[in-house]
Amino acid sequence: MRIGLDILGGDFAPKACFEGVQLFLNEYQKPKVFLVGPPEEIQEGIRLYNLDVSRIEIVPAQEQITMHDHPVQAFKQKPNNTIAVGYGLLKHKAIDAFISAGNTGAMLVGASFMLPLINNVPRPTVGTYFPQKQGYAYLVDAGLNMDCKPEYLVGFAQLASTYMRTLHNIEQPRIGLLNVGEEASKGNALTKQVYELLSASNLNFVGNIEGRDLHNNKVDVIVCDGFTGNILLKHAESIYEFFKDQPGSELFNYELYGGAPVLGVDGLAIIGHGISNALAFKNMLIKSVEMVEKQLISNIKQHYANQS
């Protein structure tokens, strides 16, 4: 098992990355970590954090895509950036997963341009955990796809269903379509069409859910367009800030969850939150190992192969 990590990604990089790797290596015995970044910085991190060199590979990449770079332009202007180098390793199966908490747009551009789309997937997507009274539901799309066709949302549901089955052992994840009312006739032009398509699909579609149902354990997967999903995600994060010193609020602490995989591409790319701390990096490493062990990507390919 080989996990790649961008040491220049995130607001607290590289310090938080090295601390996270240290915590991870101490707890998990097997996986190797491929650190992607300037070799001298990696060497210094290995020394400072006393990392076990037998479990580290140094992958040189001198350039950084910052939060201010335009994702597509940055790939051209900085060809030797950590994200491009990481995706290169992933594409050539030199690593099993690649993690970065860097420029989210660049991570998405890299996934789209450098990894093949799995057959019959309409669009790649990224989800996010939404806390429930017990446990979590998975909301897709969390912000990758703004203007969606109905079949995109069905694809998000297929991908998230496989994700929840694979990662959380839910045999038939309950799929809810985020909408303004329970009846099939409710909603905007998009959701009315998606309702029809989901009803006719092989998914465990339980119907529309409303804004009030986002935390009440009604479903395992919440499907919406990326515009709505992104706003809800950021709203939920701000709610955590609002109530952060109060019991119950820890459910809204997104830092604990680790990163989100790009779903639908043939390769495991995991996007971390920009504000990832050492704990978040450790959790991303742990989660990525779990996704590799549980064969998330193979399961998605198998799911789509079974349909066609």
Residues lying near its own copies in the complex (CB under 8 A) are found at: 143, 146-147, 178-180, 187-189, 191, 210-216, 225-228, 230-239, 241-243, 246-249
Q: Give the pair of three-digit tokens for residue 53.
A: 């060199």
CA separation, residue 255 to residues 125, 237, 260, 280 (Å): 20, 10, 11, 6
Provide the minimum distance between the beta carbon of 293 and its own copies in the complex, in angstroms, as a whole number. 33
Buried b (16+ CB within 10 A) or exposed e, 191-227: bebbbebbeeeebbbbbbbeeebbeeebbbbbbbbbe
Beta bridge partners of 178: 209
Asked if 154 and 307 count as a contact pair (C-beta separation under 8 A), the reply is no
Would you say 92 or 247 has its CB closer to its own copies? 247
Would you say 166 or 191 has its CB closer to its own copies? 191
| Cα distance between residue 180 and residue 32, in whole Å | 47
Provide the minimum distance between the beta carbon of 135 and its own copies in the complex, in angstroms, as a whole number. 14
CA 260 to chain centre: 2
Would you say 58 or 251 has its CB closer to its own copies? 251
Q: Give the pair of three-digit tokens for residue 243.
A: 């109530």
Provide the minimum distance between the beta carbon of 144 and its own copies in the complex, in angstroms, as a whole number. 10
Would you say 22 or 128 has its CB closer to its own copies? 128
Provide the minimum distance between the beta carbon of 240 and its own copies in the complex, in angstroms, as a whole number. 10
Would you say 218 or 294 has its CB closer to its own copies? 218
CA separation, residue 231 to residues 10, 33, 238, 288 (Å): 21, 34, 11, 26
Torsion region of 190: left, alpha or beta (phi above 0 gives left; psi -120 to 50 gives alpha) = alpha
Provide the minimum distance between the beta carbon of 134 and its own copies in the complex, in angstroms, as a whole number. 13
Would you say 228 or 277 has its CB closer to its own copies? 228
Provide the minimum distance between the beta carbon of 125 and its own copies in the complex, in angstroms, as a whole number. 15
Orientation angle between helical segments 150-168 and 278-293, nearest 10 degrees: 90
Provide the minimum distance between the beta carbon of 181 and its own copies in the complex, in angstroms, as a whole number. 9
Would you say 238 or 295 has its CB closer to its own copies? 238
φ and ψ at residue 23, rounded to 5 degrees: -60, -40
| Cα distance between residue 155 and residue 153, in whole Å | 5
